[in-house]
Structure 1
Amino acid sequence: MGEIQQLYEVFKQYPKITIDSRCCPPNSIFFALRGENVDGNDYAEKALNNGAEYAVVDRVDVAQNDRYIVVDDVLTAMQRLAAHHRSQMKTKIIAITGTNGKTTTKELVATVLAKKYNVLYTDKNHNNHIGVPLTLLRLTEDDEFGVIEIGANHKGEIAELCKMVQPDYGLITNFGRAHLEGFGSLEGVIEAKTELFEYLKENRGRVFININNNNIVEHSKGIGNISYAINNDKADVSGYITEQNPCVTFSWSSPRFFVVTQKVQTNLVGTYNADNLLAAIVMGLFFEIEPESINEAIKEYIPENHRSQYLKTDNNDLVIDAYNANPSSMEAALRNFANLKYPHKTVILGDMLEMGAFSDDDHRETVDLISALKFDKVFLIGDNFSKIESSYVTFRNVEEFITYIKDNPLINTAILLKGSNGIGLEQAIEYLK
């Protein structure tokens, strides 16, 4: 702890952290992280020249003076510093993980809690071994709650992140077949995600659970819980979708918290967001936020970053869910889109990445589902979809699709845009308006 304690004393004086030598605000410390193709140590001097007070490095040869702090490993030092800083804060931390919906849930929870408390939450989806410590290092004594998104693509990662985050509360949105290159199977996904519950069980935390999900219920045994569920009166908080046109109108109530039926209009597209909404509502009630304030927060929440977004233009209606994709989220998006009341519907799908040995089968099953749901037009983008024999128009990449759509514009149709972030479907949005 000696090295970290010394670093913490510096951090208390200069509490802004940067890992980008081009962006070094006053009172900041630059951490010279190594990447696949770059070595942050090579940019330490530049960071100091650009305004950083100190540079944390792990190469002695770059340390020119006492403004360089030499450690054994920069990433490990940043993670240990984050864990130590978190341990000094009285902030109550809620950790959220799961296959689908964790970013939307995190943002909804933070929006609801902010009606009463000072809340720090994960920026965008910075939920990995770098993003989590950067988030924790933003904690201040004024923060009453921290809402921390935790992601993973291999077993053991969430367990390690929990040691850093030290959550008081936890929620798993769901389990789905994603990142199978690292997890191997759905069972591997469940084992990895429930590392959050294992930490909370060992440390006497509490969990918020969707009791319609049997796997979540099973793995939450032995932990104090607060429950929610769609169309299930046994839950502490229950709700249901009353309308989708195309954004969801949602009704909810809670016998446990003595709340009669409430109705709220959201800015979210997709019936699959019902669980995400309920997660935010149950946390709001548990932390003593008035139902009126919860509804107000939900009404105010506008999704960003191409997640569950609705965009109406002069020519088309766009349903944009192009940040992430796996078999379960793809099926949910397609079935939801099929149920929307539009006379003409166009589906534009990008590959599902990181599916490992299951990739061909998963893409073939998605094509079969599209055929069963019968859309007016279908465009498939990416190497994986291009391998599948079908009657649909396919493109190797989004650039090819944009070239096509410039010459063959889509007019007067509803459009679903869904795929993994790595495919870059967001580049096509401008040409679909």
Structure 2
Amino acid sequence: MELSELYKLFEQHPTITTDSRDCPAGSIFFALKGASFDGNKFAAASLEKGCAYAVIDESEYAVDGDSRFIIVDDCLQTLQLLARYHRRQLGTPVIGITGTNGKTTTKELASAVLGEKYNVLFTQGNFNNDIGVPKTLLRLRPEHDIAVVEMGASHPGDIKTLVDIVEPDYAIITNVGRAHLQGFGSFEGVIRTKGELYDFMRAHIVEPRATAANAGHDSFVAAHPRTVFIDNDNQYLKGISHDLPLTSYGRGDEAGLAIKGHTVSCEPMLSFQWNDARKEADHTAYDVETHLIGDYNLANMLAAVTIGTYFDVAPSQICHALSAYVPSNNRSQFEKTESNSLIVDAYNANPTSMAAALANFETIEAQHKMCIIGDMKELGSVSHDEHQRIVDQLAGMRLEQVWLVGEEFENCSTPAIFRKFDNVAQVKEAIAEHKPQGMYILVKGSNGTRLFELPQYL
């Protein structure tokens, strides 16, 4: 079936599913494949459960004479092409976001800010891969004014694949750090891959938009020229941002900054102040008290401020959105239990974010402090060295207790007061035997270590 024909069916049935257990009536099922599953095998079941059509790439699973089976060469590629086709048909302005750390938080903050003025479509959760990105774009509707699409990567070329689908009008790389080194091969590989977003913008910034004519969206982009939002304090990003129109933000007083800001306090919640440096006659400073932990979140906040001001959101609306935002999914959350005060940042962990979290925790004034730290995943051959570096950082901090969780820490050389656990189950047993009391506790690790299960026990 031609893509244009499939799109006509999508216009009539604009709900996409890739899970045969979730088949809304009238939806279209795409039979994707994974390491341990083949969606083709569930195509017939998806139709029985209410799907209007099933897109498959193995003809043996089609029922003769049943026009509800749509046979294509590759289901994933077809999903991606359909998403790009849809994005082009609507012509909605799109902001593309990637980065090692902070991309999900920045996406949510920017979406909250833009939501004060516009109807915004944004990536749900962290559905930022080669499946999640097209599914996000396929949720675009004519009533959306702008879209904020998050793109993740763990291998070279991942971002190029995604930007070729998204075709963003605006872009931001939050930062580059030491994550997924097993897939990227090196830190330089991280920089090159994240930089694929810049490469796309550089190649297309002066070209006409590859979208159908839409007077409203076209005038919006004309009034807000395509740009790259950049953290001026990040030397790695500045080093690869040549030949791009930049809208910058940062902590310093360097000329050319659009938005300037600084941390007021973070004990533990971040409070900050910002001003629009482009308004020479107006030196108004705006104060924001947030629900996010740590000075390291200032860059994410300033990114959202910069995006908001660029798209004409009023300062009062920006401040309201940022102060009202409450993190979820175990990202930079503060919790107070009957026994302890917790900073829970247990969704993701890599050497860069871990070092920043520990540095921030060290600045917090508390009489009794401890850390429960889980493995950092996908670091490949440098895993031992990176985990040892974190252990050494912990050893230099004033902490009463340090608990290390996971096999990666097992071979690290640690001070005698450090305790090691194979898994979170052992940690729960230790808490049951002798629960920490009156402690300020940082809980941080990769999602796979499941440290997010601990707060209810602490």
TM-score, normalised relative to structure 1: 0.98
Could you tell me which of 327, 333, 342 is aligned with 2:351?
327
Inter-partner Cα distance in structure 2 for 1:144 and 1:291: 20
Query: Are positions 1:262 and 2:283 aligned together?
Result: no
Inter-partner Cα distance in structure 1 for 2:103 and 2:327: 13
User: How far is 1:389 from its partner?
Assistant: 2.5
Corresponding residue of 1:141: 142
User: How far is 1:429 from its partner?
Assistant: 2.1
Corresponding residue of 1:4: 3
Equivalent pair of 1:247/1:269 in contact (CA under 8 Å): yes
Secondary structure, counterpart of 1:99 in structure 2:
coil
Q: Aligned partner of 1:241: which letter? A: T
Could you tell me which of 243, 248, 263 is aligned with 1:241?
263
Q: How big is each residue's C-alpha offset from its partner over 1:230-271, in whole Å with a ceiling of 9 and x where there is no partner?
A: 233432101011011211111011120445111010000011
Corresponding residue of 1:350: 374
Corresponding residue of 1:414: 440
Secondary structure, counterpart of 1:251 in structure 2:
strand
Inter-partner Cα distance in structure 1 for 2:189 and 2:428: 37
Secondary structure, counterpart of 1:260 in structure 2:
coil
Secondary structure, counterpart of 2:249 in structure 1:
strand
Q: How big is each residue's C-alpha offset from its partner over 1:60-107, in whole Å with a ceiling of 9 and x where there is no partner?
A: 111111111111111111011111111111211001111111100000
Query: Are positions 1:208 and 2:229 aligned together?
Result: yes
Inter-partner Cα distance in structure 1 for 2:316 and 2:128: 31
Corresponding residue of 2:130: 129
User: How far is 1:374 from its partner?
Assistant: 2.4
Q: Aligned partner of 2:366: which letter? A: Y
Q: Aligned partner of 1:250: which letter? A: F
User: How far is 1:306 from its partner?
Assistant: 0.5
Corresponding residue of 1:44: 43
Secondary structure, counterpart of 1:373 in structure 2:
coil
Could you tell me which of 383, 388, 394 is aligned with 2:420?
394
Secondary structure, counterpart of 2:37 in structure 1:
coil
Inter-partner Cα distance in structure 1 for 2:195 and 2:56: 35
Inter-partner Cα distance in structure 2 for 1:387 and 1:95: 40
Aligned-residue CA RMSD in angstroms?
1.1
Secondary structure, counterpart of 2:33 in structure 1:
coil
Equivalent pair of 1:347/1:417 in contact (CA under 8 Å): yes
Could you tell me which of 242, 245, 251 is aligned with 1:230?
251
Residue correspondence of structure 1 range 24-103 to structure 2 within 5 A: 24-64=23-63, 65-103=66-104
Distance 1:376 1:232, change over 3 A: farther
Equivalent pair of 1:324/1:419 in contact (CA under 8 Å): yes
Corresponding residue of 1:311: 335
Corresponding residue of 2:274: 252
User: How far is 1:154 from its partner?
Assistant: 1.1
User: How far is 1:316 from its partner?
Assistant: 1.2
User: How far is 1:206 from its partner?
Assistant: 1.4
Corresponding residue of 2:302: 278
Equivalent pair of 1:90/1:144 in contact (CA under 8 Å): no
Inter-partner Cα distance in structure 1 for 2:179 and 2:266: 27
Q: How big is each residue's C-alpha offset from its partner over 1:362-413, in whole Å with a ceiling of 9 and x where there is no partner?
A: 0001000000012111100000011213121111111121122122212211
Name stretches of at least 5 consecutive residues in structure 2 with no aligned partner.
206-225
Of the structure 1 ranges 207-216 and 325-334, higher mean CA displacement relative to structure 2 is found in 207-216
Corresponding residue of 2:209: none
Secondary structure, counterpart of 1:181 in structure 2:
helix
Corresponding residue of 2:223: none
Name stretches of at least 5 consecutive residues in structure 1 with no aligned partner.
none
Equivalent pair of 1:248/1:267 in contact (CA under 8 Å): yes
Inter-partner Cα distance in structure 2 for 1:50 and 1:309: 39
Secondary structure, counterpart of 2:454 in structure 1:
helix
Q: How big is each residue's C-alpha offset from its partner over 1:92-145, in whole Å with a ceiling of 9 and x where there is no partner?
A: 100111111110000000000000001010111111111101101101111111
Structure 1 residue runs of 4 or more that deviate by more than 6 Å after TM superposition: none
Corresponding residue of 1:187: 188
Q: Aligned partner of 1:225: which letter? A: L
Corresponding residue of 1:14: 13
Equivalent pair of 1:259/1:291 in contact (CA under 8 Å): no
Corresponding residue of 2:321: 297
Inter-partner Cα distance in structure 1 for 2:9 and 2:433: 58
User: How far is 1:224 from its partner?
Assistant: 0.9
Of the structure 1 ranges 383-392 and 366-375, higher mean CA displacement relative to structure 2 is found in 383-392
Inter-partner Cα distance in structure 1 for 2:53 and 2:176: 42
Inter-partner Cα distance in structure 2 for 1:321 and 1:198: 32
Inter-partner Cα distance in structure 1 for 2:147 and 2:129: 16
User: How far is 1:342 from its partner?
Assistant: 1.5
Corresponding residue of 2:395: 371
Inter-partner Cα distance in structure 2 for 1:3 and 1:324: 40
User: How far is 1:163 from its partner?
Assistant: 0.8
Q: How big is each residue's C-alpha offset from its partner over 1:290-346, in whole Å with a ceiling of 9 and x where there is no partner?
A: 100000000110001111111112211110111111111000000101111221111
Inter-partner Cα distance in structure 1 for 2:325 and 2:445: 23
Inter-partner Cα distance in structure 2 for 1:15 and 1:340: 49
The number of residues matched between the two structures is 431
Secondary structure, counterpart of 1:86 in structure 2:
helix
Of the structure 1 ranges 63-72 and 165-174, higher mean CA displacement relative to structure 2 is found in 63-72
Inter-partner Cα distance in structure 2 for 1:245 and 1:51: 52
Corresponding residue of 1:362: 386
